[in-house]
């Protein structure tokens, strides 16, 4: 089923072989409620605890491809959720930090990720808008919830030359790639409309 999902993602335009390999490796069904297990490898989002969702695999792959994670980079994920995207990131890079504001999901991902061998550097219970200034700068920042605007704290924590992928908007979001080109300058690109649960302050 995972191989079939990978082929679907190829047909939808995902070309990064490292991303496709990670999607083909991570057991998505183990990051979902058991009632949805039989549907785990459909290219759909599904509800998880705390009124949140596990993202559609295409969205996970699309964001990961835009992010261009390399081994040895510091990566910050905002919105751990049940840990599926986090697991994918740990296969792409080995210094992954993740923040989750829903305590139920934080507890779940803290148990599940190490149990399955996906060892993030640190999973933090807290507000994603603040980032992790004590660990910054980050080479890559991935936001997995819809932000009404780009948080300044996250921009400040992005390394020069670093990339941030963040969905920006209220009801629907524009997938936005931000590249920090100097201490005070950023380039922005928009990569289509998506729909995410809101990023809460």
Q: Phi/psi zone of residue 3: left (φ > 0), alpha (ψ -120 to 50 degrees), beta?
A: alpha
Can you tell me the distance from the alpha carbon of 140 to that of 142, in angstroms, rounded to the nearest whole number? 7
Active-site residue, 193 included: no
Q: In what order do the strands lie in the sheet with 122-125?
A: 122-125, 95-100, 74-78, 138-143, 158-168, 173-180, 186-194
In the chain, DSSP finds a helix count (H) and a strand count (E) of 6, 9
- How big is the chain by its Cα radius of gyration, in Å? 15
Out of 55, 64, 98, 109, the active site residue is 55
**Residues with catalytic roles:** 55
């Amino acid at each position: 089923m995972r191989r079939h999902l990978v082929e679907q993602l190829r047909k939808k335009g995902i070309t990064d072989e490292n991303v496709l390999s990670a999607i083909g490796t991570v057991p998505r069904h183990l990051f979902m409620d058991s009632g949805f297990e039989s549907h785990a490898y459909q290219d759909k989002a599904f509800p998880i605890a705390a009124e949140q969702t596990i993202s559609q695999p295409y969205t996970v792959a699309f964001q990961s491809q835009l992010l261009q994670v390399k081994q040895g980079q510091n990566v910050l994920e905002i919105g751990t959720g049940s840990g599926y995207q986090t697991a994918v990131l740990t296969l792409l890079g080995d210094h992954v930090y993740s923040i989750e504001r829903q305590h139920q999901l934080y507890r779940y991902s803290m148990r599940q990720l190490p149990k399955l061998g996906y060892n993030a550097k640190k999973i933090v219970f807290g507000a994603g808008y603040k980032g992790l200034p004590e660990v910054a700068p980050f080479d890559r920042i991935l936001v997995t919830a819809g932000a009404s605007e780009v948080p300044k704290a996250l921009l400040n924590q992005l390394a020069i030359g670093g990339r941030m992928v963040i969905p920006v908007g209220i009801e629907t979001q524009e997938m936005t790639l931000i590249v920090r080109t100097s201490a005070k300058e950023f380039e922005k690109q928009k990569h289509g409309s998506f729909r995410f649960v809101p990023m809460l302050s």
